[in-house]
Chain A
Amino acid sequence: MNKQNTLTLVETLLIDYANGTLPLALEVLVETHISMNPASAKEIRMLLQLGGALLENSEPISLSEGSFEKLMAEIESGFDNDQEIYTNVSNDNNLLPFPLRNYVQDISRPKNWKRIGIGLSEQTINFGDNFGSTKLYKIAPGYSVPSHSHDGNEVTLVLSGGFTDEYGTYGPGDISIQETGAVHKPVADEDGECIVLAVNEGSIVLTGPVGRLLNMLIK
């Protein structure tokens, strides 16, 4: 997909993030993206401020009677014990952007990667819902992901390194979007390993001759 369309879709992703309608996988992808991309962070900041302003401007409608007293009773009963909200982020994955760390198995351990081709491995991330599939891909320098199409939209975020496909060149923090049916062959930059986070609404269909073989292996 060309850069302009991608830009448009990224803008839509950011709006959906601000209004809270994204599935968890995409929500985490967008959080990771904004932690790496100041322009998108600024956009989200604006969208949340806009939400605040719309909230502030809303015509007040009373809550049912006694709501405040009910709330205070709940708070005072100790039910507001907030221990559960202190979770520690894993010490693993220090190299990954912070919003992603707790969802990913330690990427420094080879056992957490599954080799799916020459110079190509993957780690499946489970977000505990039934939404599409989310994977980390690790591509060795200069290697490529076999040419493949998508039977659902796919959003890819570069975490480290970079890649080039038919549509452009992508570096850390960049998002590439492949719409259903789009075919592309990403090649990792020569100067380092490339790690990407890919969220796919459907599943990926490999299209090349080797790819078709891989399709069978992946399933």
Chain B
Amino acid sequence: MNFRVVEELISSLDMSMGSGFSNDNQNSLSEWDSCLLKIGKYRDKYAFKSLYEHFTPRLKSFLLRIGSDESAAEEICQETMIMVWRRAETYNPESAGASTWIFTIARNKRIDKLRKDSRPLPNFNDPLFYQKPIDKSDDILQRTEEEKKIKNVLKNLPQEQAKLILSAYYDDKSHRKIAEETNLPLGTVKSRIRLAINRLRTQLEDF
């Protein structure tokens, strides 16, 4: 798919660290957003090392929880981080925080693993990467607010709903396993997940 276009779109936003963002915006970036920008701009290996040390153990754990086995999880971690290194200069803090960006790359890497005929290119056409702002006020502040809200709502979820939300990210095999274990049709399992997501959306709106 088309990386040139993606990059043009992204670079048409002002990516420079110095002048591009107002102080307000700079302040709302997380430590890891800034770290990622540094890697992109200066190819800073120390910054990359701290990013790696922060994210890969979390990513591994996340992948294990959603159905990958140990060796696949480690492999996806490594492939994801290579991609992070390669693509850091295209990271756009207006569209995603570091953890969302890394999640999306890992998602693509996992797909490549699961698909026999893998998509030739990692999918940087995810809307987070190329989409024009949903409305004009869309900017770093809005994005960081959205992500903060999600984190806060997640923190306060009842355990049952939290489990269902996590299972939205399970692979196909794990969904089938739940269906078997609970004696429910796969469609019902998916419906429950969808309802939990819908509830989360309402909680986000009310927050």
* A209 at interface, CB cutoff 8 A: no
Max chain B CB contacts within 10 Å: which of A11, A20, A63? Answer: A20
Q: In the assembly, what is the distance between CA of A50 and CA of B198, in Å?
A: 13
Q: By the criterion CB–CB under 8 Å, are B78 and A71 in contact?
A: yes
In B107-147, the 8 Å CB interface with A consists of: 107-108, 110-111, 114-117, 119-123, 125-128, 130-131, 134, 146-147
Residue of B nearest to A68 (CB): B52
Partner of A85, one of B3, B169, B190: B3
Q: By the criterion CB–CB under 8 Å, are B3 and A87 in contact?
A: yes
With A41-B127, A60-B58 known as contacts, the answer to whether A70 contacts B45 (CB < 8 A) is: no
Q: In the assembly, what is the distance between CA of A34 and CA of B65, in Å?
A: 28
Q: In the assembly, what is the distance between CA of A87 and CA of B110, in Å?
A: 21
Stretch at the interface among B17-25, B79-87, B177-185: B79-87
- When distances are taken between beta carbons in the complex, the residues of chain A under 8 Å from B66 are 19
- When distances are taken between beta carbons in the complex, the residues of chain B under 8 Å from A64 are 74
The A interface, classified by DSSP as helix, strand, loop or mixed, is helix
Q: In the assembly, what is the distance between CA of A86 and CA of B107, in Å?
A: 20
* B104 at interface, CB cutoff 8 A: yes
Q: How many A-B residue pairs have CB under 8 A?
A: 200
* A47 at interface, CB cutoff 8 A: yes
With A15-B168, A87-B2, A129-B116 known as contacts, the answer to whether A74 contacts B107 (CB < 8 A) is: no
Q: In the assembly, what is the distance between CA of A24 and CA of B128, in Å?
A: 19
- When distances are taken between beta carbons in the complex, the residues of chain A under 8 Å from B36 are none
- When distances are taken between beta carbons in the complex, the residues of chain B under 8 Å from A20 are 107-108, 110-111, 114
Q: In the assembly, what is the distance between CA of A166 and CA of B147, in Å?
A: 41
With A11-B197, A45-B128, A88-B4 known as contacts, the answer to whether A71 contacts B81 (CB < 8 A) is: yes
In B141-185, the 8 Å CB interface with A consists of: 146-147, 150-151, 154, 165-166, 168-172, 175
Q: By the criterion CB–CB under 8 Å, are A31 and B96 in contact?
A: no
With A20-B108, A57-B154, A88-B2 known as contacts, the answer to whether A80 contacts B85 (CB < 8 A) is: yes
Q: In the assembly, what is the distance between CA of A98 and CA of B63, in Å?
A: 30
Partner of A52, one of B4, B52, B100, B191: B100
Q: By the criterion CB–CB under 8 Å, are A47 and B197 in contact?
A: yes
- When distances are taken between beta carbons in the complex, the residues of chain A under 8 Å from B27 are none
Max chain B CB contacts within 10 Å: which of A11, A44, A51? Answer: A51
Q: By the criterion CB–CB under 8 Å, are A55 and B62 in contact?
A: yes
Residue of B nearest to A62 (CB): B57
- When distances are taken between beta carbons in the complex, the residues of chain A under 8 Å from B87 are 82
Q: By the criterion CB–CB under 8 Å, are A53 and B151 in contact?
A: yes
Q: In the assembly, what is the distance between CA of A41 and CA of B126, in Å?
A: 10
In B45-99, the 8 Å CB interface with A consists of: 45, 49, 52-53, 55-62, 64-66, 74, 77-78, 81-82, 85-87, 96-97, 99
Q: By the criterion CB–CB under 8 Å, are B61 and A19 in contact?
A: no
With A31-B125, A45-B128 known as contacts, the answer to whether A19 contacts B5 (CB < 8 A) is: no
* A12 at interface, CB cutoff 8 A: yes
Q: In the assembly, what is the distance between CA of A43 and CA of B85, in Å?
A: 28
CB 8 Å contact bits of A82-122 with B (1 = contact, 0 = none): 10111111000000001101100000000000000000000
Residue of A nearest to B82 (CB): A80
- When distances are taken between beta carbons in the complex, the residues of chain A under 8 Å from B128 are 44-45, 48
- When distances are taken between beta carbons in the complex, the residues of chain B under 8 Å from A18 are 107, 168-169
B residues near A (Cβ < 8 Å) are: 1-5, 45, 49, 52-53, 55-62, 64-66, 74, 77-78, 81-82, 85-87, 96-97, 99-104, 106-108, 110-111, 114-117, 119-123, 125-128, 130-131, 134, 146-147, 150-151, 154, 165-166, 168-172, 175, 190-191, 193-194, 197-198, 200-201, 204
- 13 extra interface residue pairs, beta carbon distance < 8 Å, beyond A52-B99, A71-B81: A12-B194, A44-B126, A46-B146, A47-B168, A50-B154, A50-B165, A54-B154, A57-B154, A62-B57, A71-B52, A71-B78, A74-B82, A89-B1
